[in-house]
């Protein structure tokens, strides 16, 4: 068995595989550990900004392996279903089985060692190394560990960075990838592949979505923790509603529906400690409004790899040295998450219908809101600019001013 790895990464999703690839390309000895065997499924919408493919250019040669299309028009529905906001904001869609496998394969191609079907049951951070205990009885020693192991991260718990999520900070979801004939998808969602978000379905704080893909339609619903009871029954009601509206074929097959938990309450206070960093869902790097986090996870993976590479070379993996990781990811994308949490509160409050009414009267505001719903859009407006625009629309309507 290998005596000492440079870095062990727990979790081979978008964050872990991205981090592993960058570290291996920098010349480090990396092992990527996951409890599943790839390819594996993950309950998720599978929608992300197409900017990811440009930003992580090595994915361009792999689009045939994972890309299921580009949805070109987003539609956001009000809780009372009377108002729908439309905007042209492109979103790439993929089956997570294929997308995550492509990222995993890219890491392996870069020279990353892997350990699949391996459950981590313990993590010990010592003065000179980290020891990882597997359920098989094996142990792995490394100089640093990355926790990219999802919302129930054992690395976060064992290091004390996050013992447990509060109920109010998570959104339980129900998701299904529904098989649909391509001809029917074209008829229901047009060649533009219109995707839909539904605010507060059944008057419960949360969101529903429909993402049309190549041969499937991904449907999901999430309800904020304190109100998330009876989710399987609510999901069936949502499916029935979509069938009635002609957005799904009658008697759609939802036998593959699965549950998931998304950390939508914002990021944890600290994502690094002695010889350890956290990323992705393990750190709460998720858009609180939509539950999307693929883009954030990959950005964090790249940043984390650069930080660890530098400090491995300097032989300094102290808590103080790794603080820079927190600073860098917060500067690159973390500053968006707090304001988005405020938007989430507005969109799950009693003011939601009023917000839709305001938005229906202004094309520019619709574009701004639609942009916020996506990941990694460089033109994404700030929360303050959205609030300012909404105020402008209210004043304009009140005084019958000309549109600007």
Per-residue DSSP letters for 207-272?
EEEEEE-SSEEEEEEEE-GGG--SHHHHHHHHHHHHHHTTSS-TT---TT-EEEEE--S---S--E
The pair of structure tokens assigned to 231 is: 């989710």
Outline which parts of the chain fall under CATH 3.50.50.60.
5-63+96-164+266-341
Residue ranges, CATH 3.30.9.10, the chain: 69-93+167-262
CA distance 223 to 164: 19
What is the pLDDT tens value at each position of the chain, 404 positions in all? Answer: 457 999 999 999 999 999 999 999 999 999 999 999 999 999 999 999 889 999 999 999 999 999 999 999 888 888 887 878 787 888 999 999 999 999 999 999 999 999 999 999 999 999 999 999 999 999 999 999 999 999 999 999 999 999 999 999 999 999 999 999 999 999 999 999 999 999 899 989 999 999 999 999 999 999 998 888 899 999 999 999 999 999 999 999 999 999 999 999 999 999 999 999 999 999 999 999 889 999 999 999 999 999 999 999 999 999 999 999 999 999 999 998 888 887 777 777 766 776 667 666 667 666 666 666 555 455 566 656 666 565 555 545 444 444 44
In angstroms, rounded to a whole number, what is the distance separating the alpha carbons of residues 298 and 271? 15
Q: What phi, psi does 391 have (nearest 5°)?
A: -65, -40
- Whether domain 5-63+96-164+266-341 has CATH 3.50.50.60: the reply is yes
What is this structure's pTM? 0.89
Quick check: 294 and 48 in contact, CB under 8 A? yes
Q: Are strands 139-147 and 276-278 parallel, antiparallel or unpaired?
A: parallel
Q: Name the fold adopted by 69-93+167-262.
A: D-Amino Acid Oxidase; Chain A, domain 2 (3.30.9)
* Helix%, strand%, coil% for the chain, nearest 5: 40, 25, 35
């Amino acid at each position: 068995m290998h005596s000492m790895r440079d870095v062990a990464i727990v979790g081979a999703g978008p964050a872990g595989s991205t981090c592993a690839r960058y570290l291996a390309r920098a010349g480090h000895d990396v092992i990527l550990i996951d409890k599943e065997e790839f390819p594996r499924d993950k309950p998720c919408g599978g929608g992300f900004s197409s900017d990811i493919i440009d930003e992580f250019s090595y994915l361009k040669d792999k689009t045939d392996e994972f890309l299921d299309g580009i949805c070109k028009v987003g539609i956001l529905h009000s809780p009372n279903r009377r108002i729908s906001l439309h905007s042209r904001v492109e979103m790439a869609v993929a089956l997570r089985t294929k997308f995550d496998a492509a990222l995993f394969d890219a890491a392996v191609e870069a020279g990353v060692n892997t350990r699949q079907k391996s459950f981590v049951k313990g993590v010990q951070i010592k003065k000179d190394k980290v020891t990882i205990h597997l359920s098989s009885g094996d142990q792995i020693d490394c100089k640093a560990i990355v926790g990219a192991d999802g919302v129930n991260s054992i690395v976060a718990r064992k290091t004390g960075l996050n013992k447990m999520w509060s109920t109010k900070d998570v959104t339980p979801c129900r998701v299904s990838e529904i098989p649909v004939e391509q001809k029917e998808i074209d008829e229901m969602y047009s060649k533009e592949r219109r995707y839909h978000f539904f605010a507060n379905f059944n008057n419960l704080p949360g969101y529903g979505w429909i993402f049309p893909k190549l041969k499937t339609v991904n449907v999901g619903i999430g309800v904020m923790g304190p109100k998330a009871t009876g989710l399987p029954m609510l999901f069936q009601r949502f499916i029935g509603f979509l069938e009635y509206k002609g957005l799904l074929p009658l008697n759609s097959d939802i036998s593959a529906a699965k549950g998931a938990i998304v950390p939508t309450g914002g990021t944890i206070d600290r994502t690094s400690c002695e010889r350890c960093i956290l990323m992705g869902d393990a750190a709460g790097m998720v858009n609180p409004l939509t539950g999307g986090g693929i883009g954030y996870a990959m950005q964090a993976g790249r940043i984390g790899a650069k930080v660890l590479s530098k400090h491995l070379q300097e032989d300094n993996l102290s808590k103080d040295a790794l603080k820079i990781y927190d600073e860098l990811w917060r500067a690159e994308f973390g500053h968006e998450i707090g304001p988005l949490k405020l938007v989430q509160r507005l969109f799950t409050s009693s003011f939601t219908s009023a917000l839709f009414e305001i938005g229906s009267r202004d094309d520019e505001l619709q574009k701004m809101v639609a942009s916020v719903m996506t990941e990694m859009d460089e033109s994404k407006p700030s929360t303050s600019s959205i609030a300012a625009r909404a105020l402008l629309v209210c004043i304009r309507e009140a005084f019958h001013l000309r549109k600007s």
